[in-house]
A = this chain, B = another copy of it.
């Protein structure tokens, strides 16, 4: 698994470029833009899904609309065996935790967390992180303002 040829061509890239910007673009529009038939686009998209090039479609929701105004990054030092992310998996189970990265250096994790407010963060750290075995220490960085937050990848241009 993971060992696979994706073999994407320029048409795939163009489709990905469009879908990355608006996942609800319909086949007819994509077809028009690429000068192809809608059915051909459909085939391509299905194949991209099947090959797990497109992993999922999601709606980006405004955190403010759900009153989630606080964003933090927490460095977590753990006593995990290298390569076995026991603590990592436990962290990943927490709904407020959006990202968990195993990072080089201080043998630990970098975790991205979204909460309503500072109280929510404190609560999470005390009641949820606090109960995870194997956490040695944490260091929290608070986000004052987010300038950019996207997950768009740079898609190779025509050669």
Contact = CB atoms under 8 A, between A and B. Distances in A.
A56 interface: yes
Interface string A37-78: 000000000000001111111111111111010010100000
SS class of chain A's interface: helix, strand, loop or mixed? Answer: mixed
Nearest to A16: B61
Contact of A114 (B6, B55, B153): B153
A135 interface: no
Instruction: Give how many copies assemble into the complex.
Output: 2
Q: Assign chain A's interface to a size class.
A: 35 or more
Given A53-B65, A154-B68, A156-B66, A110 B143 contact: yes
Nearest to A63: B153
B147 A91 contact: yes
Residue with the greatest number of chain B CB neighbours at <10 A, chosen from A20, A142, A150: A150
Interface of A: 2, 6, 8, 16, 19-24, 51-66, 68, 71, 73, 85, 88-89, 91-92, 95-105, 109-110, 114, 141-156
